[in-house]
Amino acid sequence: MFEILKTGGFIMIPLVLASVLMIGIILERFWSLRVSSVLPPKLGAEVRQWARTAKIEKEHLDKLRDNSPLGAVLATVVANRQRSRDIISDKAQATGRQVVHRLSRYLNTLGTIAIISPLLGLLGTVSGLIRMFLVITTAGIGDANALAGGIGEALVATAAGLCVACVGYFFHRYFKGHVQNLAMALEGEATMLMDSLETAEPTPVAAPAPQRGAR
């Protein structure tokens, strides 16, 4: 394997570094974008019940906000529950944009790797061809080993660049779609909570007992 990388020339160094960074991002995103981590099961139902019956305290909201991305969105809705639905919706959307931005972390880097990898491979191809033509210029076409070195550098660099680009592009598109699905789920949970708060029946308050002598 090392001999193949060595054949690709100097351009293999940034390609190997890019591939290592790409693998690290992919593994990190798989861990961070788990559905159970972003959308904890039953959290939405628990918050809908809690927001309608329990006394809302700042400590509870802080814990909910730090619980998960879903908790951050629901905490915003609960914190503004006394306002109009339009204001609650605007606040929830603002929080949702921040959450989605955090969920999209490193995806631009992954997309950049997918774009520049074939260009680096092309640079290696050009470098190999230049090396081959220099051999022809100085030693003619009789030195087959030298010519093969230039051709090998061009082919290995091109193949490596395309492999890194294909993997990077695939996972970039995959995670983009996954984040969009998570964003839709967050929006749905926020909408259900707002509907629940609107339809919540006010707690009945007992009428004061009539005083004696009242007319």
Q: What's the pLDDT tens digit per position in 140-191?
A: 665 556 666 667 777 888 899 999 999 999 999 999 999 999 999 999 999 9
Report the interhelical angle of 43-53 vs 69-79 (nearest 10°): 20
Q: What's the pLDDT tens digit per position in 11-24?
A: 888 999 999 999 99
Q: What's the N-to-C CA distance of the chain in angstroms?
A: 101
CA–CA dist 187, 207 (Å, integer): 40
The residue assigned the tokens 């390609």 is 15
Q: What's the pLDDT tens digit per position in 98-109?
A: 999 999 999 999
CA–CA dist 17, 136 (Å, integer): 32
Which comes out higher in pLDDT, residue 5 or 190? 190
